[in-house]
């Protein structure tokens, strides 16, 4: 108890010292300030605004506060969470989305650990000293005491030519009695590296993540920079939206919904997912 009392005393005394000596010079420009308050500064703030869990200053509401997750507050925030310059997101689509999210029997809340959302990160790597774009898809995964972002998939245009093949033509093949000759014709199959992918099965799908890891381990792929980050959300039943960061003058700034799609079926959802992952099968 005595330690706690002493601690409180020192905190108060030294707190006074620190507030007088430590304070850095502050900017007093109201125009800039209002812009910065309006900006959705972090993805975390997007979650909190979407869910109606903080006030105008960005301070969290207590879960018992009547404003916490209130429909009125969420309506106010939701209207500012769209990229206003994107005419592709029609007003009636936004209205329907707002209705589904806020006015259903159970309001829809975004859950950071709820899955069904992932990051798309455009990066530049040097491949044999030539700059190449590689897209990483990351997802949150539980691990030991907490969670972490992990690379779930990778797409790189530079890998595509290695796996390209025309399945409409007969092309090269290992004839059906090759086994009787201990597959001695493999020698001819592997003679020409350009046609080697023709010997893979129909269901073969190139796994860019494996190639990516292999090339890094081999030392031929070196990280350079992150170019762009965006997020894809499938967490709201019947909807997909994209979240991107906008850095421009005005108040419609920061992390905003940059694309919105109403999904009518599970198959539509799967098609869109595959499209986002650059998957053709």
Partner 1 sequence: MHAIKYVYALLLSVCILGQVSAQKGEISPSRKQAIDSLALEKVRDLSKYISIIGNKKTPFSEAQRVMDRAEELFAPDSEMGVSSLNRKEVNYYKVRKYFERLMALNYDRVSIEWYDIHYISDLERQPDGRYVGVVTVYQRFEGESDDGLKYKDTTKKDITIYVERKKTQIQGRIIEFWDVMLGDIRVTETSA
Residues at the contact surface with partner 1, assessed by CB under 8 A: 3-4, 6-8, 10-11, 14-15, 17-18, 22-29, 32-33, 35-37, 41-42, 44-45, 48, 58, 60, 62-63, 112, 124, 143-148, 224-227, 247-249, 253
- Distance (Å, rounded) from C-alpha 31 to C-alpha 38? 11
8 Å CB contact between 243 and 230: yes
Nearer of residues 225 and 280 to partner 1, judged by Cβ = 225
Q: Report the nearest approach of partner 1 to the CB of residue 236 (Å).
A: 20
3-class DSSP state of 51: helix
Nearer of residues 161 and 249 to partner 1, judged by Cβ = 249
Nearer of residues 36 and 209 to partner 1, judged by Cβ = 36
Q: Report the nearest approach of partner 1 to the CB of residue 146 (Å).
A: 3
Residue whose tokens read 């905190």: 11
Nearer of residues 52 and 206 to partner 1, judged by Cβ = 52
Q: For 224, what's the count of Cα atoms within 13 Å in the CB-facing half-sphere? A: 18
- Distance (Å, rounded) from C-alpha 242 to C-alpha 81? 11
Q: Report the nearest approach of partner 1 to the CB of residue 101 (Å).
A: 21
Q: Report the nearest approach of partner 1 to the CB of residue 240 (Å).
A: 24
Q: Report the nearest approach of partner 1 to the CB of residue 254 (Å).
A: 9
User: Is 244 exposed, middle or buried (CB count within 10 Å of its CB: 0-12, 13-18, 19+)?
Assistant: middle
Q: Report the nearest approach of partner 1 to the CB of residue 38 (Å).
A: 11
Give CA separation, 2 vs 6, 8, 9, 10, 13, in Å.
Answer: 6, 10, 11, 12, 17
- Distance (Å, rounded) from C-alpha 261 to C-alpha 11? 52
Nearer of residues 136 and 206 to partner 1, judged by Cβ = 136
8 Å CB contact between 251 and 38: yes
Nearer of residues 27 and 91 to partner 1, judged by Cβ = 27
């Amino acid at each position: 108890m005595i330690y706690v009392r002493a601690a409180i005393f020192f905190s108060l005394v030294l707190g006074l010292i620190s507030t007088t000596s430590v304070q850095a010079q502050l900017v007093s420009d109201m125009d800039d300030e209002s812009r910065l308050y309006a900006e959705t500064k972090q993805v975390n703030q997007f979650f909190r605004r979407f869910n109606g869990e903080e006030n105008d200053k960005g301070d969290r509401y207590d879960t018992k506060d009547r404003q916490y997750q209130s429909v009125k507050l969420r309506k106010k925030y939701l209207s500012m969470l769209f990229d206003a310059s994107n005419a592709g997101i029609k007003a009636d689509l936004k209205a329907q989305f707002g209705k589904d999210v806020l006015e259903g029997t159970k309001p829809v809340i975004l859950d950071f650990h709820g899955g069904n959302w992932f990051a798309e990160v455009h990066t530049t790597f040097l491949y044999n000293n030539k700059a190449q774009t590689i897209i990483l898809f990351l997802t949150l995964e539980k691990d030991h005491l907490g969670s972490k972002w992990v690379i779930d998939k990778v797409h790189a245009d530079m890998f595509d030519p290695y796996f390209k093949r025309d399945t409409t033509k007969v092309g090269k093949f290992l004839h059906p009695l090759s086994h009787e000759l201990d597959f001695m014709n493999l020698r001819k199959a592997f003679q020409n590296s350009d046609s080697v992918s023709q010997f893979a099965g129909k269901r073969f799908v190139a796994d860019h993540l494996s190639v990516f890891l292999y090339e890094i381990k081999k030392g031929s792929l070196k990280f350079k920079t992150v170019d762009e980050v965006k997020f894809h959300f499938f967490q709201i039943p019947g909807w997909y939206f994209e979240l991107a960061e906008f850095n421009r003058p005005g108040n419609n700034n920061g992390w905003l919904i940059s694309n919105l799609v109403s999904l009518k079926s599970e198959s539509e959802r799967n098609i869109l997912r595959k499209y986002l992952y650059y998957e053709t099968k």
